[in-house]
Amino acid sequence: MAFDKNTVPQFNIVPGISGDVTISNPPEEPNMFYLHKDNKQLMSRDIKSSREIKEMYSSYDLAYGNVLISGLGFGILSLWVASKPEVKSVKVIEYSQGVIDLFLQSNTLPENITIELGNISTYKSNERYDCILLDHFQDLVPENEWHLRLTDLKQISKNIPNHNVIWGWCLEYMFLSKKFEITFEQLFTNPINLTKFDLYSKWLEFINEDMKVSTLPSLSKNKLIEYIYTYFDFIKD
């Protein structure tokens, strides 16, 4: 499989306010939509670009069976995963009622998606899931505190033990930052040549020594590179 923007179902992002949550579409940026909670940005979407959606591609590619997703945001990942033929059901754990309300005001919930209000970091369940896909780090964990994100992922895998695969948004970025000290600017502003790095051997170190989570997927070298290059928009539409 490779990223195909035609697999992404229709979704609506409409400016609005619900409690402390706001969706905005600034006049000076007509292509941009922003999701804020307590004036803190959770998510952005450039409707003229596939870049933000490509950051979710690895989660979509891995999804199958019964899926648990943390974080609703604009609902893009949840709708995308739910539309995949290999996926039976999607449960979304979202900790903000305002985010849920704004999504439901402009989107119809497919029959195979349920949304539950809760905090995934403390959520515990013995239900069986084929995949756990984490997409909540933007708000709960500071961007530069990678070790906190890794700790959160490890704890969630223990709190919901009956699952086959766990994955999280920005693992590609966390990996490059931790193992190669590559910065956001190097990847997006002035892209560097990643072919000079031994990505796969360092990835094996990352999941076996740094992560130590047995349910992280076993990726081939080609799949790892596909995920990294798609995440950073090095593979164009």
- List, in sequence order, every beta strand (DSSP E) within 11-127: 16-18, 21-24, 32-37, 40-46, 65-70, 87-94, 113-117
Q: Cα(135)–Cα(38) distance, rounded to whole angstroms?
A: 19
| pLDDT greater than 90 at residue 142 | no
Confidence grade of residue 193 (pLDDT, cut at 50, 70, 90) = confident
Longest dimension (CA), the chain: 48
Instruction: Read off the pTM.
Output: 0.93
* 215, 212, 93, 147 alpha-carbon torsion, rounded to 10°: -160
Mean pLDDT value of segment 29-55: 93
**pLDDT tens digits for 87-130?**
999 999 999 999 999 999 999 999 999 999 999 999 999 999 99
Domain ranges, ordered by start, for the chain: 5-231
Mean pLDDT value of segment 151-171: 93
Confidence grade of residue 219 (pLDDT, cut at 50, 70, 90) = very high
Q: What is the pLDDT of residue 78?
A: 98
What's the one-letter identity of residue 93? I
Provide the CATH number for the domain formed by 5-231 in this structure. 3.40.50.150
**Residue 179 · residue 202 · CB < 8 Å:** yes
Average model confidence (pLDDT) across the chain: 91
**pLDDT tens digits for 59-72?**
999 999 999 999 99
| pLDDT greater than 90 at residue 189 | no
